Structure 1
Amino acid sequence: MAVAQQVLHATPQILLKNRGRLVGKDAWRQNLNLASLAAFKIGSSLGPKGAYKLVTYHKGPEMVMKVTKDSIDVVDELGIEYPAIMTLAEAAKIQRQHTGDGISTLLVLVSALLTEADKLIEAGIHPNTILDGYLKATEKSIAIINEVAKNVGKDLDEHLLEVIDCGRELLSGRLRRDLSEAISRITEDGTIDISRIRIVTKPGAQTNDSELVRGVVIKKGKAHPSMSDRIDAPKIAFLNKLEIKRLELKSKDEGPFSVKLNITSHGQIQLFKSEENRLRTLLVEKVRMAGASVLICRSKMDDRLSDQLSRQGIFAIQMVDYQDFEAAAKATGGAIVSDADQLEKEDLGIATKLEVDKIKPDDIVILHCDRGSTLLLRGSSPELVQEQEKTVKRALLILKHSRSNPKVVPGGGAILVELASQLRRFALTFEGRDQFVISSFADALEKIPECLSTNCGLEPIDMMIQLRNHHSNGRQAIGVGENGCIDMFEANVIELASVNRANIHRAFELVSLLLRIDDCFYVKDIPKFHKQ
């Protein structure tokens, strides 16, 4: 034993001085405290009466300030100072990518489940037993959601978008109708590809000026001022480049190398210019012979080429952004071709109309076509437009899910109170520690309606007593309103059942991950910089 102790004392320190380590309950406590910190920041923003958050960070030497209710923005910034919160932030981002909504609910629920787990651990219940009980509660909750969910049929899109907007007035009535139409325009054979809906943002004007463009918006002007501002039924060629090939020789197994020209007389200059002009004319003729009336080019074109295209009545756009370029090709059914030598009639795209417009101070080109949809978002400030863009992306995802699974549950925390009520009865069917664990899961679910009550200026204890009484009497749709308990179906406050199922399941996965951490290595001095 003495020899073993000497060996242990002689073992060099593995961790560097600027590294730290938390083991066992200390590591667990840190995860609990950080999750509670995130939930504390997020919980007060729940619901239409929730508070905004002022987030500040350094972007290089510049101090950036952001006013938002977006929970991902908040936990992202917390994650810079507290890296353990990045686990929650990444899970929240995945949730948004898949479902589009329920992020704040997810984060608050994770914190509540961890808090309840801490109480159970203090009571002597092993984490594995807790996770087993949480799993049973999760499976039962999903089954209850399936039972409660129903179809509302009429005005589903309008009611869902109203809940997404959450009283911020970012989605006007006109924009809500446009979002529904945009989803309908890209639906083919029951499948919806949201990437086909382009979003173009432009600060200036009012939020109500946001609109749906039934086609593709290209943020470039025409290549030559004498080109027409309107073309009906255009046939569109998509070229990566349109230029005269540079002079070069090709040597076997060595590839091309440039050639220098030695001009010794004035006649040679004229001859060279004439040949150059002939090659330019040949390029334009190839585009014209293919039947194209519009040319969209990724690279910059020579001014003389633009002039010759204009003389031939061919409208041209140059230096087009790749995303706009690809979106226009998909919407019009055109094929992207490397250069004019490879262009064929079959490669051309078709649109109903081309128009040149202006969003001050920039010029834009609009291709009107049946398969294209572009949402043009306007706002009085860049920050407002950014918030609107996030809300629109969430709304598009929700509308997509509503097409495949339109069943809804009551909002305002009503479904969570109903889950808690039924889970407490479900817990009584078990003997032993599972009963306590499932009851704790039910208590955690009620944290969300408590936050909603607080944010509405209501007394949470009184509200929870009333809500429990209503749900024990079978009124499943009663939730938290601005002035007290109301029927959420009658108030048209609804949520997709699929979003709630995803929230419950992902919360369990996150808690399972954090509960199994018993060793934490960290850097003591983390450099404070913003990831952007």
Structure 2
Amino acid sequence: MMLDTIAGAQSTTPGDYRETLASICADLAEFFGSTIGNGMSKLIEDPHGNFVVASDGDMLVRELYMRYKHPIVTTLLEAGAEQGRRCGDLVKTTVTLACRLVLSGLALMRQGVHPNAIQSGFSGGLNAARNLVQASASRAPVDTSTIETTLSCFLAHRLSPGASRHVAQLVASHLGCHLARIERGGMTCERAFDTFIDTLDIVLDPGGNIVDSRIVQGAAIIKDPLNWQTGWTRESLGRLENARIAMLSGELYFDKKKRGETIDVILHDDTPARFKAGIDESWARKARAITSRDVRVLITEKGIDDALVSALNAVDPPVLAFRRAKPDEMKRVARHVGATISHDIDTLEDKDIGFASCIEPLHARAGTCFVFRKDNDPGHNTIIIRGSMYDVCDAVKHHLLAAVKHCIDVQLNGLVPRFPWFFLGIARDVHARQPGAIPSRARLAMDAFLQELAWLPRLVQANRGLDPLALPPLNASQGSSGSEATAEPASAVAATSVEHMLTMATVTASRLLRVDSMILNPSGWRKRAGQEQRKNDEHEKKD
């Protein structure tokens, strides 16, 4: 083709493209489909030669995305990644269904059906299925046992049974209180999730077991105090009950251009001894300004001068000082203890000082985690996640946050019962409700779409080692009713997750089916680096 001569590009024919598309979709459908439900896991080797066994959709998508740089593969994986970002669930189902729809569309195209008719049929089936999902969604009651069950079911496919139950128990009570406030506030799912995260600190503590994880009431600062190793012990820290807390955002360093009181002293007799004495006296006055307000804990976002640290240690009793604390942690602690973050000691007022009933040091990966508790305000909690290694703790944190988002989504938008067996009823009901005026070719595509929906529960049944033909044709409105002898109990999934999964899979499949060729670089497909690529082209022309 003429395009082959432009910048060395290579263009594929429609036949070659469709053959490649069919091969890739068949491989990805098998790869992800075998892991859905209680399916198989995959053995993944990282660039360093280490191996990990995983079946988590987000991890599988991320690993494949790094290894296979092909436009078709990237398009399908990005659909799964977007599903994970938006909903935190049904990542593998999204990729699998998109691949299956592509294969069904290619089969129709071999029979002479145009891609536009296929897209029209897929869209009609999608709209009908989404309407039935919305009509069948049910709200879950806001109680601790129901929330714990929802969290546990979500985590069961990602963690061991014991770990999933334990992690669900940790957060169920706190999430229940938050969901009760959400119903009264009328928040969106994203806003409700962000608000909940503001009331929860997650501390990773590798070197243990997941079932040893625990939750404590209070907000945490993951930082060792300046004088923790020498000036304080667990016994002396116990005396910090009912402690007053000052929080500052500015630097506490000596600067003679900004410290007028020190300049006056220094100019009187500018000798090294007098200079040092002036600085020490300046910081001593600031230390007395802190202790005069009965402040026992000082937390700063930036640095603290060593002279001020010495002055704080010299007072009786000494002040527990934290420097360079993370802004997010400071904001959470400030909200919990009722403090206002001031800029400097000079601007600190009595109304800015917070209060904590007690301060408890806990072991954490980065050092010591200090939890500030307030007995009359149990609205903030800290979860200590244990695990054999840091990657395990981080994975548990990721799954926990996804489960919380799923639970909030279920509460706000309802859930779809008996997923994916629910799709059997959807396929039958859509067939019964669609009018006969739909064009025959589009009707073929809609039938193919519904057949793929009905295929999903049979795939899950086969992955569990059961007979995929033993499923009853559940009606979409039957919910959790139906034969119990078919399989293990299905899980309830957020209605918005199901809708988004159907949309992403259908849109992705339609987009790929409407392509008839690819233009590739001579050395295979690769991402261009923008400005860097143009500079390389300019150098080649000069040479």
TM-score (norm 2): 0.80
CA contact (8 A) 1:38 1:75 kept: no
Shift of 1:295: 1.1
Between the aligned partners of 2:511 and 2:284, the Cα distance in structure 1 is: 66
Tell me what 2:432 maps to: 425
Shift of 1:104: 1.5
- The one-letter code sitting in structure 2 at the alignment partner of 1:366 is V
Between the aligned partners of 1:288 and 1:473, the Cα distance in structure 2 is: 67
Shift of 1:117: 0.9
Q: Does 2:7 correspond to 1:15?
A: yes
CA contact (8 A) 2:133 2:416 kept: no
Tell me what 1:515 maps to: 513
Tell me what 1:246 maps to: 255
CA contact (8 A) 2:79 2:94 kept: no
Between the aligned partners of 2:517 and 2:242, the Cα distance in structure 1 is: 66
Q: Deviation string for 1:406-453 (max 9, x for gaps)?
A: 444212x21112122223334573352222111100111133223212
CA contact (8 A) 2:254 2:279 kept: no
Tell me what 1:169 maps to: 160
Shift of 1:184: 3.7
Tell me what 2:61 maps to: 75
Greater shift after overlay, 71-80 or 169-178?
A: 169-178
Structure holding more helix per residue:
2
Tell me what 1:376 maps to: 384
CA contact (8 A) 1:236 1:334 kept: yes
| 1:460-475 matches, cutoff 5 A | 460=468, 463=469, 466-467=470-471, 469-471=472-474
Q: Does 2:308 correspond to 1:305?
A: yes
Between the aligned partners of 1:152 and 1:185, the Cα distance in structure 2 is: 15
Q: Which runs of 5+ in 1 are unaligned?
A: 1-7, 251-258
Tell me what 2:118 maps to: 130
Shift of 1:46: 1.2
Greater shift after overlay, 28-37 or 133-142?
A: 28-37
CA contact (8 A) 2:247 2:353 kept: yes
Any idea what SS the aligned residue of 1:471 has? coil
Q: Deviation string for 1:20-41 (max 9, x for gaps)?
A: 4335454454344333333221
Question: In the superposition, relative to structure 1, how do residues 274 and 335 fare at CA in structure 2: closer, same or farther (>3 Å)?
Answer: same
CA contact (8 A) 2:425 2:477 kept: no
Structure holding more strand per residue:
1
Q: Does 2:376 correspond to 1:365?
A: no
- The one-letter code sitting in structure 2 at the alignment partner of 1:485 is T
Q: Does 2:93 correspond to 1:102?
A: no
Question: In the superposition, relative to structure 1, how do residues 422 and 186 fare at CA in structure 2: closer, same or farther (>3 Å)?
Answer: closer
CA contact (8 A) 1:175 1:212 kept: no
Between the aligned partners of 1:57 and 1:296, the Cα distance in structure 2 is: 40
Q: Deviation string for 1:88-141 (max 9, x for gaps)?
A: 333323322322211111111111111111111111111111111111111111
Q: Does 2:165 correspond to 1:181?
A: no
| 1:19-58 matches, cutoff 5 A | 19-22=9-12, 24-47=14-37, 49-58=38-47
The match for 2:455 among 447, 454, 463 is 447
- The one-letter code sitting in structure 2 at the alignment partner of 1:116 is S
Between the aligned partners of 2:107 and 2:4, the Cα distance in structure 1 is: 38
Tell me what 1:325 maps to: 330
- The one-letter code sitting in structure 2 at the alignment partner of 1:89 is L
Question: In the superposition, relative to structure 1, how do residues 341 and 519 fare at CA in structure 2: closer, same or farther (>3 Å)?
Answer: farther
Shift of 1:204: 1.4
Q: Which runs of 5+ in 2 are unaligned?
A: 528-543
CA contact (8 A) 1:296 1:318 kept: yes
Q: Deviation string for 1:181-200 (max 9, x for gaps)?
A: 23245454534224313322
| 1:134-149 matches, cutoff 5 A | 134-149=122-137
Between the aligned partners of 1:137 and 1:526, the Cα distance in structure 2 is: 34
Greater shift after overlay, 283-292 or 123-132?
A: 283-292
Question: In the superposition, relative to structure 1, how do residues 436 and 232 fare at CA in structure 2: closer, same or farther (>3 Å)?
Answer: same
- The one-letter code sitting in structure 2 at the alignment partner of 1:195 is I
Any idea what SS the aligned residue of 1:107 has? helix
Question: In the superposition, relative to structure 1, how do residues 445 and 226 fare at CA in structure 2: closer, same or farther (>3 Å)?
Answer: same
CA contact (8 A) 1:414 1:480 kept: no
CA contact (8 A) 1:133 1:438 kept: yes
Q: Deviation string for 1:277-332 (max 9, x for gaps)?
A: 01211332343456633211233434442232232542211232344334323444
Any idea what SS the aligned residue of 2:385 has? strand
Q: Does 2:205 correspond to 1:218?
A: no
Between the aligned partners of 2:13 and 2:288, the Cα distance in structure 1 is: 75
CA contact (8 A) 1:232 1:352 kept: yes
Question: In the superposition, relative to structure 1, how do residues 41 and 184 fare at CA in structure 2: closer, same or farther (>3 Å)?
Answer: same
CA contact (8 A) 1:108 1:448 kept: no
TM-score (norm 1): 0.82
Tell me what 1:233 maps to: 242
Question: In the superposition, relative to structure 1, how do residues 41 and 194 fare at CA in structure 2: closer, same or farther (>3 Å)?
Answer: farther
CA contact (8 A) 2:70 2:526 kept: no
Between the aligned partners of 2:343 and 2:477, the Cα distance in structure 1 is: 66
CA contact (8 A) 1:218 1:324 kept: yes
Shift of 1:68: 1.5
Q: Deviation string for 1:448-490 (max 9, x for gaps)?
A: 2232122112243xx2xx32x5437996647898xx614x7xx
Tell me what 2:204 maps to: 201
CA contact (8 A) 1:220 1:364 kept: yes
Tell me what 1:495 maps to: 493
Any idea what SS the aligned residue of 2:394 has? helix
Between the aligned partners of 1:498 and 1:338, the Cα distance in structure 2 is: 44
Tell me what 1:272 maps to: 275
Greater shift after overlay, 128-137 or 357-366?
A: 357-366
CA contact (8 A) 1:410 1:493 kept: yes
CA contact (8 A) 2:147 2:176 kept: no
CA contact (8 A) 2:254 2:305 kept: no
Shift of 1:378: 0.7
Question: In the superposition, relative to structure 1, how do residues 306 and 527 fare at CA in structure 2: closer, same or farther (>3 Å)?
Answer: farther
CA contact (8 A) 1:452 1:480 kept: no
CA contact (8 A) 1:420 1:446 kept: yes
Any idea what SS the aligned residue of 2:518 has? strand
Shift of 1:268: 2.2
CA contact (8 A) 1:112 1:445 kept: no
Q: Does 2:296 correspond to 1:293?
A: yes
Between the aligned partners of 2:513 and 2:507, the Cα distance in structure 1 is: 10
Identity %: 20
Question: In the superposition, relative to structure 1, how do residues 130 and 360 fare at CA in structure 2: closer, same or farther (>3 Å)?
Answer: closer
The match for 1:410 among 409, 414, 418 is 418
- The one-letter code sitting in structure 2 at the alignment partner of 1:433 is R
Between the aligned partners of 2:97 and 2:392, the Cα distance in structure 1 is: 29
CA contact (8 A) 1:453 1:480 kept: no
CA contact (8 A) 2:32 2:92 kept: yes
Question: In the superposition, relative to structure 1, how do residues 67 and 237 fare at CA in structure 2: closer, same or farther (>3 Å)?
Answer: farther
- The one-letter code sitting in structure 1 at the alignment partner of 2:46 is Y
Question: In the superposition, relative to structure 1, how do residues 432 and 331 fare at CA in structure 2: closer, same or farther (>3 Å)?
Answer: same
- The one-letter code sitting in structure 2 at the alignment partner of 1:245 is F
Tell me what 1:92 maps to: 80
Question: In the superposition, relative to structure 1, how do residues 148 and 455 fare at CA in structure 2: closer, same or farther (>3 Å)?
Answer: same
